[in-house]
Each structure stands twice: as C-alpha cells, then as structure tokens.
Amino acid sequence: MDRLTAPIEIKEAKADGTFTGYAAVFNNVDLGRDVIMPGAFRAMKETRDGKVRIAMNHDLKRLAGKAKCTQDEHGLRVEGQLALGVSYVQDAYELMKSGVLDGLSVGFDIVPGGATWEERDGDYVRIIKDAVLWEFSLVPFGMNPEALVETVKAATTIRDFEAQLRGLGYSQREAKALAAGGFQSLGRRDGDPDSETLADNLKQLTHAFTWN
C-alpha cells in the first residue's frame, strides 16, 4: 500500500470529535515527490454506511473513526468523526488539540498503469492518476504542505513541534515558519538546493514521532 502524507494546521476541534479538511491535495508535489491528480481516487474501500476508515498511523488494528470523503477541485475533502469512546483515540484527540499530532496520511493502492514518472523543475516526480483509497490516518507529521484541517475546536500551541524542529538544527524563525505553515512557508521551491536536506530532516522528524 502506498502512502501520501499531509501536515494539517490544527485550528479547532469540536467536542464531539468531528473535523473537516483535506487528507490529500491535488496537483501538489509532496516532500516524497508524489503528485496526486484530480479525481485520482476512482474507488474507495468504504464501511457499510459509505464512509472511509480513519486509522492510527496506518495500523488497521487501531482504527480511530470514519469519514465521508469527496473529491473536489482542491483535493480529497474529509468530514471525519473520531470514536472518542476508545481510549487511544481520546489520547490522539488531545494530541491534535495540542498540535503534536498534526498530520493526515492517505493509504492507497495504485492500479496497474495508474502512475507515471515526469520531470518537473529538473527533478522526477511520480504522477498518480488512478488509485484505490483504503483509509487515511492520523500521523504526527505529514509530507504535503498544502493540506489543512478546517474545524477542530480548543486548539492550543504547537511549541512541542517547534522544539523538535529546533532539535534538527533549524533556527527559531524557520521552526516557527514550518510549524505554522509547512514546507512552503520558508519560501523555498522544491528545486532549491536546501529542499532535499529539508525533506530528509522532516522525514526523520516523522519517524521520531511514529506511533508504537
């Protein structure tokens, strides 16, 4: 199963565990060099009531809820409901509010012939045109700088995340910019010399936060 991750800007979280946002953004190069094209998720593995499962870090033994998923011109829009009666989901909800758990990641299979490689700005990216969506997950940090959660209430700060970035050697300004707006907030293009190093460091940060 392939995965494509996206950082989410936690603004608010409703007391009933609902949230909305984008689990994937179309036509955007993520830090793993993948691009999902509009309408790429031609099939979705759904529950009996037509929802897509939400998991913890792609572990289908640790489900967290379900969501209505639709595709628009911007990306894969999700209207999620967390199962707050499950203890680890309640814990994840608190981490979302504190800004520590701030990413979404889609889990999908590419159908045969559903992806091609293309050169963009001197680098090769994988263009995903046809895929089957299995689930999306709550993850500590995502790789797509464009995705965002629009409604999650009672958020606090993301200072813990900033501290992790400082630990990787970023300046206070860079850490604040990355925590607030993701990769593009630094004003760097994907082809800039520092981009590859930044991507590698952010992947290290993802592993540092990985759920056990």
Catalytic residues: 58, 105, 135
CB 54 within 8 A of CB 138: yes
Q: Which residue has the tokens 């593995």?
A: 45
Count other Cβ atoms within 10 Å, centred on residue 200.
12
Number of Cβ within a 10 Å radius of residue 25: 19
Distance, CA of 157 to CA of 53 (rounded, Å): 28
Burial of 61 (0-12, 13-18, 19+ CB in 10 A): exposed
Question: 154: burial class by Cβ within 10 Å (0-12, 13-18, 19+)?
Answer: middle
Distance, CA of 51 to CA of 44 (rounded, Å): 9
**Rounded-to-integer distance, Cα 15 and Cα 90, Å:** 11
